[in-house]
Structure formats: structure tokens, C-alpha cells
Amino acid sequence: MTYEGVPGLVETVEAHGETTLVVDPARLIEACTHLRDAEGFNFLSDISATDYLGWGSVGVSGYIGTARGRDLNLPATQGLQVLPQAKSKRFAVNYHLLSVSDRPRRVRLQAWVDDGEAVSSVVGVWPTADWHEREAWDLMGIPFDGHPNLKRILLDDDWEGHPLRKDYPIGGEPVRFSEEE
């Protein structure tokens, strides 16, 4: 499905039956307002932030399990390394939109930002974004401009760091397997 007239649209990606609209973060609120009012996406299902630090550094060799089996003509089979597609910036903020109407559709809006770069808050467009953006700030460290209440939500208020980032360690303790350790 192509969407005409989305402000700031950089790219449209179709995969696995889904449409992803990559948008310029500077024009995010315009894009969201357009999608809500002109296209009927009145329901914000989810805001997911993804950290792509280290993406592509671990190669994927050709043992890909698909129903089609291994396609020997595809590059990167027979154990050759293939690197996943490189990403332009470190963080992707994904907005999953749904149209609760007689024409139900889903679309994903994607905005790419670097570390420290702020994203405009869409609380004014969909009030439900409030807690989703707080969670993205808390766990990923993406600041949202214009959010009325940007505090930590899932972690302690005085927690340092943003755990879901790739450079944050998993934490926990080494497991003690015997008495001697």
C-alpha cells in the first residue's frame, strides 16, 4: 500500500505484508497528524525504540532456515558470511499505527535518530503515547521534545543508564555451581 502526501516521507518499505513509512524526524508531528486525520489511523498501538549499535558486526552465515529451503543461487550460502543491511543512524523509533474503522489497516512509521537527538512527542496527536514515550526514554534513552511528563516509568527514578541499549550489560550474577566457588 502506498501512502500519498505523508509529510517528510523518506522511504516506503514493504515486507512480510507490512508497510513501513520512514519519515524525517523533523517532520514527525506533521506526518502523524496527517496519518491520523487524512488516512484514519486513529489508534496508536505501540511505540518501539530499537538500538542498532553493533548491527552488522556479527556476520550471518548461510544456514538460513526457511520453508523454501536453501537457495544455492542466493549470495551468502555455503557458509559465506553475509552482513545484514547497514542502518543509517543508531536508533529507530517505530510507531505502530492502526485504523480502528471500517477499513482496518496497519502501518509502521519509522524515524531514525542518533544518540542524544530528540524526537518530537506525539502526545498531542495520540494521548496514549504518554507512557510509551516514557518507556522509550527510560529504557533506551531517547528524549522526547514536548512530552509533558518525561520521567522514568519502569525503573527507579535514580537509576543510571538506559538498560535496553546494546552497550548496557545484561547484569545479573554469575551462577555458582559448586561449593568451592
Partner 1 sequence: MATAPAKTRAPIYEGTRIPHPIPTVLRVSDELRATGDVMTVNFGPNHPSTHGVLRLVVDLFGEDVVGLEAVVGYLHTGFEKNMEQKTWWKAITYPERIDYLSYQNNELVFVLAIEQLLELETPPKASWMRTCLCELNRIHSHLVWLGTAALELGAISMFWYCFREREQILDLFEMVTGARMHTRYFQAGGLAEDIPRGFYPEARKFVEWMPHAVDDYEALVDRNKIWLERTQGLGLLSADDAIALGQSGPVLRASGVDWDLRRVQPYLSYADCEFRVPVHHEGDVYARYRVHMEEMRESTKIIAQCLDRLEGMEGEPWIADDRKVVLPPREELHTSMESLIHHFKIVTEGYRVPEGEIYVTVESPRGEMGCYVVSDGGPKPWRVKFRAPSFVALEATATCMTDALIADMIAVVGSLDTVMGEVDR
Partner 2 sequence: MALDEPLKDLGLHSERVLWEGKGPGKFEQEVAALERKVSLTTLEKAVAWAQTKSMWPDTFGLACCAIEMMSIVSARYDIARFGMEAFRSSPRQADLLIVSGRVSNKMAPPLRQIYDQMLEPKWVIAMGACASSGGMFNNYAIVQSVDKVVPVDIYVPGCPPRPEQLMEGIIRLHEAVQAGVPPAYELRAVAT
CB-nearer residue toward partner 2: 82 or 155: 155
Question: Where on the chain is the footprint of partner 1 (CB under 8 A)?
Answer: 15-18, 20, 42-46, 48, 50-51, 55-56, 58, 60, 63-69, 82, 84-85, 94, 96, 98, 100-102, 104, 106, 108, 123, 126-128, 130-131, 135, 139, 148-149, 152-156, 163-164, 168, 170-171
Instruction: Name the segment binding partner 2 (CB under 8 A); options: 13-21, 82-90, 123-131, 162-170.
Output: 162-170
Q: Please, are residues 82 and 70 in contact by the beta-carbon 8 Å criterion?
A: no
Instruction: Name the segment binding partner 2 (CB under 8 A); options: 28-36, 75-83, 102-110, 155-163.
Output: 155-163
Q: CB-based contacts of 168: which residues, under 8 Å, 6+ apart?
A: 161, 162
Residue corresponding to grid cell 536508533: 91
Q: Does 52 bind partner 2 (CB under 8 A)?
A: no
Provide the b/e sequence for 108-131 (b: ≥16 CB within 10 Å).
Answer: bbbbbbeeeeebbbbbebbeebbe
Cα–Cα distance for residue pair 7/34, rounded to 1 Å? 8
CB-nearer residue toward partner 1: 26 or 60: 60
